[in-house]
Amino acid sequence: MPTDADYARLLDFRVQLRRFDQWSRSAAAEHGLTHAQHQLLLAIRGHRGEDSPTIGQVADHLLVKHHTASELADRTSELGLVERVRDADDHRVVRLRLTEAGQQVITDLTAVHLDELRGLAPYLDRL
């Protein structure tokens, strides 16, 4: 059975998660991005595998439907941060790739996010 201290730690952690989320949204906005666009760039850059991700893979990473990820990719492409490329082996497959500008934005945002996450480490340790 959870103790009073368990509830307090869980509350502290949830508050810190919400603060991080709000901070992250502001950091993305400072780079001219929505929170979702930042998450898209991260899903592309952080994708494991030799090939860049497909829309379907990005949708899985973002926990959204395929058409939502496609629309997000379109809007982010209009900013010059993402491009669609045909797979070299199967031309029916379209992959998402960061442009040079997209790579710079996600590098900058990731650096500040990692610093911010280091500050959350004590809350994770308490759990």
Q: Which has the closest alpha carbon to 69: 30, 48, 43?
A: 43
> What is the pTM for the complete model shown?
0.90
The answer to whether residue 120 scores a pLDDT higher than 80 is: no
Question: Domains of the chain: which residue ranges?
Answer: 4-126
Q: Phi and psi (nearest 5°) for 80?
A: 80, 20
- pLDDT, tens digit (0-9, with 9 covering 90-100), for 82-117: 999 998 888 899 999 999 999 999 999 999 999 998
CA distance 124 to 44: 27
- Topology given in CATH for the domain delimited by 4-126: Arc Repressor Mutant, subunit A (1.10.10)
- Supply the pLDDT for residue 63: 98
Higher-scoring residue by pLDDT: 53, 87:
53
Q: Is 12 exposed, middle or buried (0-12, 13-18, 19+ CB in 10 A)?
A: middle
